[in-house]
Structure 1
Amino acid sequence: MEPVIAIVLVLIGYALGSAKLINEGNEALVERLGRYHRKLRPGLNFIVPLLDSVVMEDTTREQILDIKPQNVITRDNVYVEVDGVVNWRIMDMEKSFYKIDDIQIALANLATVELRSSLAERTLEQVNASRNEMNKSLLQALNDASKEWGIEIIRVDIQSITPPESVQKSLAEQNAAVMRKRAAITAAEGEQEAAIKRAQATKTSMQILAEALRTNPESKEILKYLVAQEQVEASQKLSASNNAKIVFLNPGVNAEAYSQMIGDLGAEEISHNHSNTNPGENGSATA
């Protein structure tokens, strides 16, 4: 009876020793007598006790590698502190175990080297302006360098690029100068547009006034009154000034000059309109 119990216990122990449960999202590697034998998938697996041994079990899910802050020098000799993260996952468990000693350390060192190399090729201004481009180039470089390790680099993200405080102050002053320049350009363009509109409005009002003076028999008297009124207002403003000087103006002379100027403008406008509205008559006369 005792031998039977012993055999049963041995069989139970053998069965328990041969059963291996692999969690979902993981894989395991089995060696037989020191050589790679096979891969265990998620679920219940069986191995041969004493002959087989599970040498590695790891996840095939996406993992995150945090790149510690690094002091890096750019192409224009500016020292910056850079850090980032790398998202990766194991695609071939066998390669990741047998091709490289410690995949985490190897990937961290590789990411640091590629990051330093990428920043050394760019100036600080280019680094700040092309972060997305740098992320893409780092992603490609890491995938090319680690393709024999059985892993895939999913995403690279440079989180921060911090130059020295003196450089930050200089950049802030430069940005402020650029903003002031843009504001000055915008103001100048606005003033130019306003001046053009004022000139157009003045021209239109002069044309209307010329037409009114041409058709109104009392136009000269009206113009003299308007000029005199403007001169009275101007004199009042001058008298209110500490540096005011007495100036005597002849409204009649000014009115006649204005009337002549406006009349010339009106005649020019009427001649222009006449030539535009009667092209056929001119053609018949020529013929």
Structure 2
Amino acid sequence: MADMKQHKHSYVLMGPYFLLFFIFTVLPVVISVVISFTYFNMLEFPKWIGWQNYTRLLTNDDVFLIAVKNTFLFAAITGPLSYIACFFFAWLINELSPKVRAFMTLIFYAPSISGNVYFIWQMIFSGDRYGYANGLLIKIGVILEPILWLKTEAYILPIVMLVQLWLSLGTGFLTFIAGLQTVDRTLLEAGAVDGVKNRWQELWYIVLPSMRPQLMFGAVIQLTTSFAVADVAMNMAGFPSVNYAAETVVTHLIDFGTIRFEMGYASAIATLLFGAMVGTNLIVQKLLRKVGE
């Protein structure tokens, strides 16, 4: 209490943010968890049904199990790859002159804010001879007939992963650029005196420990994006995709929440996804704390 009185002005200044955070983040999460234990179709008052939604999800919903498999596979591949790619490109670009660095940052960040990004990839993987992928493969003699890339189950998920990786140089990338700019140059000079022999040792023992907050934030962003993938799958593979090849937990949630209006069931899906995200983020943050040790 004495500490709170001493810093009361700080708490007053943070008050509006905490109020908005509680109203628009904490409260909706709590309400969603409560609704997940009900049957709620948006027309009738929620009816308490206990664990039935979760039992149905885990034992009777085959599409949800496919979505879970796809989501974890997607997160396990695109999450680490996009995280490493974001940092690697940020590290390279940070070595350039300020003007060139600003230009290259724009080039790398542009895909994440482009409105025509899906149109470009749909042209590349078009199922006729005019698609760039088919045209190239036919020209060099790899295939004789065009492949229906986005209608063939074996190709759908890898293509969606590829597009997501291309889009991943967004907020995490900018975070790493900002973090690299804040590294104290005197630490690098001191490291050279103390026996740091090459750039890799400099990166591991000085640069990475100096930007742990940015590494944490980037990990949260990349993992959340990987687990919450939906737009890429829906735009590239359709909704639903062929044999649910690109079905994810979020697209399954959208199906029940915005099309079937089974809000209790959709809330159960959201609750399980939230738990998976929190658990994974805690594990990753624990691992990142060991960087530089």
TM-score, normalised to structure 1, is 0.21
Structure having the higher strand fraction is: 1
TM-score, normalised to structure 2, is 0.21
Structure having the higher helix fraction is: 2
Which structure would you say has the larger Rg? Answer: 1
